Amino acid sequence: MATNNAFPAVEKCASIGREKHTVVADMDGTLLIGRSSFPYFAMVAFEVGGVSRLLFLLLASPLAGLLYYFVSESAGIQVLIFATYAGMKVSDIESVARAVLPKFYSSDLHPESWRVFASCGKRCVLTANPRIMVEAFLKDFLGADMVLGTEIGTYRGRATGFVCKPGVLVGKNKADVLQKVFGKTKPDVGLGDRHTDIPFMAMCKEGYVVPPNPEAKAVTSEKLPKPIIFHDGRLVQKPTPLMALLIILWIPIGFLLACLRIAAGSLLPMPIVYYAFWALGVRVTVKGTPPPPVKKSTGESGVLFICSHRTLLDPIFLSTALGRPISAVTYSISRLSEIISPIKTVRLSRDRATDASMIKKLLQEGDLAICPEGTTCRGPFLLRFSALFAELTDQLVPVAMVNRMSMFHGTTARGWKGMDPFYFFMNPSPAYEVTFLNKLPQELTCSSGKSSHEVANYIQRVIAATLSYECTSFTRKDKYRALAGNDGTV
């Protein structure tokens, strides 16, 4: 049988003139720089089964490692599959594969493998990973035409934890599946990274090996066929075994710390919340000069703060930066979040006339905060701004909000939103940066003849330029359809 040395390195593979060629590539260690699939199994375990399932997977991983090295690669992977998937709803696995994993997979794309893979007209991925876990990313974001992966067993909509015939796709199983699909037609290019890939690589007209290179720089997002704008899941970092252990150990400590931080923000007077947060490890940075509070005796309308939307805590950190509570209109937050909020929150009805009347009334009472994107976005993007706010007042102050989380995301599209503030404050040292921009000049408001859409788009561009973000035309419905399969109505 051929050895790895029989195949040239992928760097020697030409990528010009392959528009009519077919490429078959392995995934871990080939299309991806990382050779371990544990982090992705860990994300599925945590997002579907919580910390207890992550712990079970972590405890099973040493056994998987022993079987991998001393019995077979197939046996080790079967342990990971069982520990991760046994008893899970198939729909939940598919949801995580669609909404959570693509962001992490895309950040580990091998530059040379992607160069060759992207140059071919027909793209096939042949992987030991469960197909259900990788297919959404490979087809939606890498343009794969076919994904041949390990098939997991199911019963009444739940995964059994076992695999279907012919078993885990490694070694001869890969070659047999490829033979079954392509028949006598030989794929033009085969890409693999380990000796168990040799049987299927030998079946291709050309075979190239991807040598291990942990220092390789992953493909940048702008080189992908489709940008990953929407992303869900609680974990900020890819959970290696060590990171998974740290997460498990930190969660009970972090939850108590989050409760203390939330209590400080809810119970203390707003002028001292800023200092309390700093004492509890929450960093708040204020830039720009905020306008002074409106004096009710003058009869002036309040200022409407137009904020970019990162978490549901945006208005609270705006109030923290100002040193005074600012009321906020919200689209959909949990009842728990309303109860523990230190500021007044008013739900929008999504009826234009009703909401306009309510916002005008609130502005007569004082300053108000609104996030016209209607939902949060994690990446360096701003969603489309709803234009209603521009019709209601000329006292508009854009506010660029940005935050930093090292362990957990404080937003979710699929989970219970009541946990959002807790997850944000469970980070060891979460941070918010609040940048007050100049008040919108009178000549750029609706009262000077500008349309509400022109005003909204202008403020979106100003905030995006401040944060070096990209403006998009995507909406709340687009986000929830992509991540949760619904229109986001709560």
Residues 283-342: pLDDT tens digits?
A: 999 999 998 887 766 667 889 999 999 999 999 999 999 999 999 998 778 888 888 899
Query: CA-to-CA distance for 127 and 170, rounded, in angstroms?
Result: 8
Helix %, strand %, coil % of the chain (to 5): 45, 15, 40
CA 476, distance to chain mean position in Å, is 15
**For residue 486, what pLDDT is reported?**
77
Query: CA-to-CA distance for 76 and 79, rounded, in angstroms?
Result: 5
pTM for the predicted model, two decimal places: 0.93
Mean pLDDT across 376-405: 94
- Cis check: omega of the bond before 166, within 30 degrees of 0: yes
CATH number of 19-212: 3.40.50.1000
Q: Please report which helix (H) or strand (E) contains residue 154, including its range.
A: strand 152-155
Mean pLDDT across 169-190: 94
β-strand pairing of 470-471 with 345-347: unpaired
Residues 77-123: pLDDT tens digits?
A: 999 999 999 999 999 999 999 999 999 999 999 999 999 999 999 99
Residues 423-436: pLDDT tens digits?
A: 999 999 999 999 99
Mean predicted lDDT score pLDDT of the chain: 93
Query: CA-to-CA distance for 363 and 156, rounded, in angstroms?
Result: 54
CB 191 within 8 A of CB 116: yes
CB 96 within 8 A of CB 43: yes
Query: CA-to-CA distance for 432 and 441, rounded, in angstroms?
Result: 27
CB 260 within 8 A of CB 280: yes
Query: CA-to-CA distance for 261 and 410, rounded, in angstroms?
Result: 14
Q: Please report which helix (H) or strand (E) contains residue 435, including its range.
A: strand 431-436
Task: Render the burial of 310-332: b for 16+ CB within 10 Å, e for the rest.
Answer: bbbbbbbbbbbbbeebbbbbbbe
How much of the chain exceeds pLDDT 90, in percent? 85
Binned at pLDDT 50, 70 and 90, residue 227 comes out as confident
**For residue 43, what pLDDT is reported?**
98
Write down the domain spans for the chain. Answer: 19-212, 241-483
Residues whose CB is less than 8 angstroms from the CB of residue 288 and which lie 6 or more positions away in sequence, other chains included: 435, 436, 437
Query: CA-to-CA distance for 261 and 280, rounded, in angstroms?
Result: 7
